[in-house]
Amino acid sequence: MKAVAPGLWIGNAADARDVRRVVDLGIMAVLHLAMEDPPVGYPRDIVYCRFPLIDGVGNRPEVVRAAVGTLRNLIEVDAPTLVACSGGVSRAPAIVAAAWSQTLGVSLDDALKRLVALAPHDISPALWDEIKRCG
């Protein structure tokens, strides 16, 4: 799990399953983005949002928009949030960059440049193209 901003972490599937650590860090919300991962059971006071995304082509635009919009809203209210996918290097950083582009008022590519300086990444070009098409 890697902090990329105060109150915002990017992680992998193992990080998302580590409920004790999530609670200990004071994380209030978890966005789980990997279609292939099973849902995680959290205590009732943790907001858990599962957006089943594919690490490539074939994502439903409304699911991509919902993931980005939900994260944007959580960032805007300063809710400590973990964004996780299977490996923690493609879907999670891509959705964080897309949300940052909206909250910071910068282009998607500029937001991605900010993110890649802070966290490991290997974003699927096909996924990034889909995110760009979703606006």
pLDDT in tens, the chain (135 residues): 999 999 999 999 999 999 999 999 999 999 999 999 999 999 999 999 999 999 999 999 999 999 999 999 999 999 999 999 999 999 999 999 999 999 999 999 999 999 999 988 999 999 999 999 997
pLDDT value of residue 45: 96
pLDDT value of residue 120: 83
CA 12 from centroid of its chain's CA atoms: 10
- Structural domain boundaries in the chain: 2-134
pLDDT value of residue 135: 72
C-beta of residue 11 within 8 angstroms of C-beta of residue 80: no
| pTM, rounded to two decimals | 0.96
CATH class of 2-134: alpha beta
CA angle 73, 77, 80 (to 5 degrees): 95
Q: Is the dihedral of CA 75, 31, 98, 14 positive or negative?
A: positive
pLDDT value of residue 119: 85
Closest CA to 132 of 87, 103, 94: 94
State the burial class of residue 117 (Cβ atoms within 10 Å of its Cβ: 0-12, 13-18, 19+).
exposed
